[in-house]
Amino acid sequence: MRIVHLSWEYPPVVYGGLGRHVHALAEAQAALGHDVCVVTQAPRTAASTGWAAAASADVPLDDVVHGVRVIRVDRDPPIQELTGETLLAWAASLESAMSRRILRSHDGVTRADVVHAHDWMVAHTAVLLRAAWGVPLVTTLHATEAGRHQGWLPGELSRAIHAVEGWLAHSSDAVVTCSAHMRGEVSRLFAVDDVEVIPNGIDTGHWRAGARDVAAARERYAPHGPLVAYCGRLEWEKGVHTLIDAVPRLRRRFPSLRVVIAGHGGTSRDLEDQARARRVSSVVDFAGWLPERELHALMAAADALVVPSIYEPFGLVALEGAALGAPLVVARSGGLVEFVEDGVSGRTFATGDPADLARAVTECLDEPGLSRAWADEARRRVRADHPWEAVARRTDDVYAQAVRARASRDGEAAAFAMPPPAGNLLSDG
């Protein structure tokens, strides 16, 4: 099968879990014998945004990596920083370049059997290819704008993104989410009945750390006491502020505690200010974006890996931490609780509650034998339930379903118009 993935991030341009997901899925599909092409943005224009710390201008614009053809496009004008104010123009400039590159007659991109879109930032290119090639469109909605804002659309930008998400969902022949929680969210928001759930996968052979690296991480970050770590983007929905609010309580119980926050994002400065205001700057280490080897060592060395997300469609970092043997302490948010079972494969706490977070971490640190048993069970579940080959085969089934759905339709569906949103879109009231 010939598959074209559309994704605004792909290594070395990786900001969050979406880029890692597309990368692993594409390579797993290629290993199964599919003809796979990924179209994404070029590092040399992504680097100007500051979002792609690992990006290199030396990466080829058209290459085959581990069996996957990767086409990286320079965005069309306007070339500008990616901010809230420029987001729609930024996405439009990327999609314009992607569409032209794919549809050039001398390009060498053959007509695909299926187009797979990843989130709203590639929606227009995806729908265009569906019409131009007459092939099925499968969309994975990795998150929603309303979900990020707890069911609300706070401004014109959010309403615009929400409308594009709904249009993309209704223009697709199959819609995929990464958790049952997200399936419910997408169904409620966009009145889409048939949503397939395919949980994220992980390559456990990649997510490992050597004993020397782990020992070095312990010595660097917490040589004399317990080590609590957070690894991921620094955005409001990731809930890092809840962890910082819990540190004074944890410090009273564990005077030699050290907390390491690895990652970067839009709230970095606010979180550092919060740590100073809570008088825990000496306890909290903002490590920034770590190279993979150091990141793996930090996660493996942690006595508790905290995932405090306010909004979390799945929680890929929980899989990664489990693969590395880290005891997990996660918020009861979204897809996290579909993987972490309290008292069995980790500890959970009430979302956004610093006192309950401190309680869960304390129980983890006070009972190292139990926390090790939880970590072992989490690792067993990762190996049994989340290999990428299984994810690729389940995605194949969705593609077959989309081919059947496309064949049964009489021409193009009418354009979908989102109703004017009002109130909390995710509430039951």
Please give the domain boundaries of the chain with CATH numbers for all domains. Answer: 2-201+389-408 (3.40.50.2000), 211-385 (3.40.50.2000)
Q: Which residues contact 83 (CB under 8 A, 6 or more apart)?
A: none
311-349 pLDDT, tens digit each: 999 888 999 999 999 999 999 998 999 999 999 999 999
| pLDDT band at residue 379 under the 50/70/90 scheme | very high
* pLDDT exceeds 70 at position 176: yes
Burial code of 152-179, b = ≥16 C-beta within 10 A, e = fewer? bbeeeebbbbbbbbbbbbbbbbbbbbbb
List, in sequence order, every residue forming a beta bridge with 13; answer none if it has no partner. Answer: 10
Helix ranges (H only) for 144-237 are 145-148, 156-171, 180-190, 211-221
| pLDDT band at residue 270 under the 50/70/90 scheme | very high
Among candidates 69, 73, 9, 67, which has minimal Cα distance to 37? 69
| High-pLDDT (> 70) share of the chain, % | 91
Alpha carbon distance, N-terminus to C-terminus of the chain: 45
Paired tokens of 13 = 């341009």
* pLDDT exceeds 80 at position 48: no
User: What's the CA angle centered on 422, arms 412 and 187, to 5 degrees?
Assistant: 50
> Residue 65, class by beta-carbon neighbours within 10 Å (0-12 exposed, 13-18 middle, 19+ buried)?
middle
Q: Which residue has the higher pLDDT, 407 or 125?
A: 125
Among candidates 82, 178, 166, which has minimal Cα distance to 123? 166
pLDDT of residue 107: 59
pLDDT of residue 414: 45
Q: Reduce the DSSP state of residue 405 to 3 states and report it.
A: helix
The 10 Å Cβ neighbour count of residue 242 is: 22
With beta carbons less than 8 A apart as the criterion, state whether 323 and 317 touch. Answer: no
Number of H helices, E strands in the chain: 15, 14
* pLDDT exceeds 60 at position 28: yes
| Longest CA pairwise span in the chain (Å) | 68
- The winner for highest mean pLDDT among 74-88, 107-121, 227-241 is 227-241
pLDDT of residue 79: 83
- Give me the amino acid identity at 352: G
* pLDDT exceeds 50 at position 289: yes
CA atoms within 13 A on the CB side of 342: 13
* pLDDT exceeds 50 at position 158: yes
Q: Which residue has the higher pLDDT, 21 or 54?
A: 21
pLDDT of residue 55: 46
Paired tokens of 60 = 């080829």
| pLDDT band at residue 46 under the 50/70/90 scheme | low
pLDDT of residue 354: 98
383-414 pLDDT, tens digit each: 999 999 999 999 999 999 999 888 876 454 44
pLDDT of residue 54: 44
| pLDDT band at residue 85 under the 50/70/90 scheme | confident
